[in-house]
Amino acid sequence: MTEKSLSFGEKAVGLTFNPSGDENVNKIKKLYAEIIDFCNDRRQVKELSEVGSERNRLFEIAITEAQAAQMWTVKAITWLEK
């Protein structure tokens, strides 16, 4: 059986790491992976990258912030009160 290779966004959110098997964690990771893939695809469009490095820098910040938001959301989903 051949495994599908992960997209940039799926790698960025660690889609395959979900030790608890929580479906909500999986859903959030997939949603953020889609956002990250969109940003990654847009920063690689030749016509857009010629506009200047500022656009790419902004997409890179968006990717970083999406990764952080995804991690905080997973933290909230898996938070256990003691």
pLDDT recorded at residue 1: 46
The CA-CA-CA angle for residues 25, 29, 33, to 5°, reads 175
Exposure b/e, 66-77, CB count within 10 A at least 16 = b: bbeebeebbeee
pLDDT (tens digit per residue) in 45-66: 876 555 568 888 899 999 999 9
pLDDT recorded at residue 12: 97
Give the domain ranges of the chain. Answer: 23-77
Question: What tens-digit pLDDT sequence spans the chain (82 residues)?
Answer: 446 899 999 999 999 999 999 999 999 999 999 999 999 999 888 765 555 688 888 999 999 999 999 999 999 999 987 6
pLDDT recorded at residue 45: 80
